[in-house]
């Protein structure tokens, strides 16, 4: 719990502080005086005032930060102080300052995605399991062991690419061209026809529903208990099971079920050890189970020998991939929001702080690469959310500036006040829905 909380606080602190630094940096370039830049909220613990009069502070609550600008000139202000006030700036400069925060988050996301490409990540190869009968994948002609090499002319390097490249089509529907390698360099092109799928808070895996799932890999012996039937037969950690009696290429579940059903009987196991094929004979020992039934056990712990690939790019390609991935994620986020309005994406898919904190903890436990990917995704989300034309968000302030530029005069204080009330109501409703979804997932 503490680890998850720390991972969440660190993520939120970094992302929001970077957002506020975007506002600060552009404000300074536009000649606006910044009174305070605070990392965190609440009581100021440490502070330092620079030569520009900006107070740099570290505050008690480490959930982000804020920038306080000089909105209006102070009483008895000099001409210089008037020019440094935010509300006295030309509309173009005010728009630049407002847009800088969200775009800083998008820039950070691009940098994080580029960093992932540069350091490389270990990902499962795009090898598919046998598709379910009558599924879209089965009807298209996919077979177990097919390796996906491209989707709509985009190169596929891993299973992560498959999920990403099909994400949009799985919700919008349509025909997708998929090229697979069926082995020995023989490629086939399949047309995958996808129906419109509804995203419902992650309860339904639309990719699996379409019949595409990752091949579980070959059963692999991870651990052998001394004195067990497996050890007596000569099994060793690292052995890969390729056959059981007449069953070729069994899955891990099939191996377990077969062993359990053959208590006291000899079972011939075909294995690969250091790349060399061998045959061993093991006799599962009967043990009492529920209902007094006796099932076979051989005293080994099985895992999966999953084919993996390291996805890594050069410096320039990493930068290009970072920008591309950020742009695609931004566009997909906007489309998903639009589909929430039409009902093709359920409102239950909206996540709040509890779910985000859970993901922060999970990805941090998996490893640095997973956590960096999480930071990039949330950074895009913060950028997109703040660009929405809702009063109280940066996008709402941009909307006011656009109206001012079109009308030739600022929006009246009366309408601004009404907009603030509407914006506050929308944000409160969104927050209540997000918390409701979080706790529904938590207790369901």
* Residues forming the active site: 20
Q: How far is CA 291 from the centre of its chain?
A: 44
Closest CA to 178 of 137, 210, 224, 209: 137
Paired tokens of 202: 């992650």
Are 33 and 78 spatial neighbours (Cβ–Cβ below 8 Å)? no
Closest CA to 20 of 101, 102, 109, 86: 101
Q: Is 18 helix (H, G, I), strand (E, B) or coil?
A: helix
78 class by beta-carbon count within 10 Å (0-12 exposed, 13-18 middle, 19+ buried) = exposed
**Partner residues linked to 150 by β-bridges:** 155, 179
69 class by beta-carbon count within 10 Å (0-12 exposed, 13-18 middle, 19+ buried) = buried
**Partner residues linked to 304 by β-bridges:** 219
- Alpha-carbon span 87 to 70, nearest angstrom: 8
Which residues have a Cβ under 8 Å from the Cβ of 185 and sit 6 or more positions away?
none
- Alpha-carbon span 107 to 101, nearest angstrom: 10
Residue 219 backbone dihedrals phi, psi, to 5 degrees: -65, 130
Paired tokens of 143: 């077979």
Paired tokens of 263: 């208590």
Residue 125 CB neighbours (<10 A):
17
């Amino acid at each position: 719990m503490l680890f998850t909380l720390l991972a969440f606080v660190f993520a939120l602190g970094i992302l929001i502080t970077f957002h506020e630094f975007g506002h600060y940096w552009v404000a300074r370039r536009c000649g606006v005086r910044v009174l305070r830049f605070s990392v965190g909220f609440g009581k100021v613990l440490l502070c330092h005032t620079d030569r520009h009069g900006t107070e740099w502070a570290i505050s008690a609550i480490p959930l982000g930060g804020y920038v306080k600008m000089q909105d209006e000139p102070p009483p008895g202000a000099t001409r210089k102080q008037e020019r440094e006030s935010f509300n006295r700036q030309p509309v173009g400069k005010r728009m630049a300052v407002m847009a800088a925060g969200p775009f800083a988050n998008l820039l950070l996301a691009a940098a994080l995605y580029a960093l992932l490409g540069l350091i490389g990540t270990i990902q499962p190869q795009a090898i598919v399991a046998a598709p379910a009968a009558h599924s879209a994948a089965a009807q298209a002609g996919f077979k177990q062991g097919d390796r996906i090499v491209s989707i709509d002319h985009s190169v596929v390097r891993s299973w992560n690419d498959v999920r990403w490249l099909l994400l949009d089509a799985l919700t919008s529907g349509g025909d997708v061209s998929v090229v697979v390698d069926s082995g020995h360099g023989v490629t086939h092109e399949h047309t995958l026809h996808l129906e419109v799928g509804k995203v419902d808070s992650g309860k339904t895996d639309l990719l699996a529903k379409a019949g595409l799932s990752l091949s579980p890999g070959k059963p692999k012996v991870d651990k052998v208990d001394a004195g067990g039937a497996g050890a007596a037969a000569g099994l060793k950690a690292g052995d890969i099971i390729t056959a059981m009696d007449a069953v070729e290429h069994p899955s891990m579940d099939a191996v377990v079920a077969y062993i359990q059903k053959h208590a006291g009987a000899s079972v011939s196991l075909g294995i690969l050890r250091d790349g060399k094929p061998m045959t061993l004979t093991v006799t599962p020992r009967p043990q009492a189970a529920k209902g007094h039934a006796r099932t076979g056990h051989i005293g080994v712990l099985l895992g999966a020998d999953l084919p993996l690939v390291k996805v890594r790019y050069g410096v320039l390609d990493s930068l290009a991939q970072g920008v591309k991935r950020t742009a695609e994620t931004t566009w997909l986020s906007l489309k998903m929001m639009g589909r929430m309005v039409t009902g093709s994406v359920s409102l239950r898919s909206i996540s709040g702080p509890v779910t985000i904190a859970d993901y922060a903890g999970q990805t941090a436990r998996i490893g640095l690469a997973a956590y960096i990917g999480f930071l990039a995704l949330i950074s895009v989300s913060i950028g997109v959310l703040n660009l929405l034309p809702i009063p109280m968000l940066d996008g709402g302030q941009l909307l006011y500036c656009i109206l001012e530029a079109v009308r030739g005069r600022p929006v009246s204080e009366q309408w601004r006040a009404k907009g603030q009330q509407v914006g506050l109501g929308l944000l409160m409703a969104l927050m209540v829905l997000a918390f409701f979804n979080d706790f529904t997932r938590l207790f369901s």
